[in-house]
């Protein structure tokens, strides 16, 4: 009867760990019963899987974005890899956009009243942005 109660409790803990996705403490066995050994192996496997998924999630990084408001000249920091730079300029009732990449490093937009904005992806993986007569924004999408 004691063994059935212990197995029921262990099964509940296993299911709760799977559904709640919370790490469980490592368990060691104190008896030589094969059923208990299998149960301990299952718990340890579950804990190991949760730890691996947490480690993998913290090691992988996706694209990140920096935003720069421009009035005049604006210069960004250096990035490891620039994916794309998005230039956004208000032009009256609309918004104009342009893209710059490493392969196409310059983007220009003509705004209302002779205003112009441009961004340039430099060889040192920095971005320069400049607007005259109006303000704009550029977004640097990068991976580090």
Mean pLDDT by 10 residues, the chain (144 residues): 44 46 51 56 59 53 87 90 91 88 93 88 94 89 87
Which 3 state secondary structure label does DSSP give 103? coil
Hey, CA dihedral for 42, 48, 50, 53, is it positive or negative?
Answer: negative
pTM above 0.85, yes or no: no
Alpha helices in 60-144 (DSSP H): none
Alpha helices in the chain (DSSP H): 2-20, 34-59
């Amino acid at each position: 009867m004691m063994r059935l109660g212990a197995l029921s409790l262990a099964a509940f803990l296993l299911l709760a760990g799977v559904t709640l996705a919370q790490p469980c403490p490592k368990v060691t066995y104190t008896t030589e019963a094969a059923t208990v050994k299998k149960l301990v192996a299952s718990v340890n496997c579950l804990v190991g899987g949760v730890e691996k998924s947490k480690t993998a999630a913290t090691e992988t990084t996706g694209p990140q974005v920096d935003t720069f408001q421009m009035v005049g000249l604006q210069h960004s920091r250096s990035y490891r890899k620039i994916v794309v730079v998005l230039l956004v300029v208000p032009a009256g009732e609309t918004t104009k956009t342009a893209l710059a990449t490493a392969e196409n490093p310059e983007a220009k937009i003509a705004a209302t009243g002779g205003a112009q904005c441009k961004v340039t992806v430099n060889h040192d993986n920095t971005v320069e942005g400049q607007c005259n007569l109006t303000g704009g924004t550029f977004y640097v999408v990068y991976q580090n």
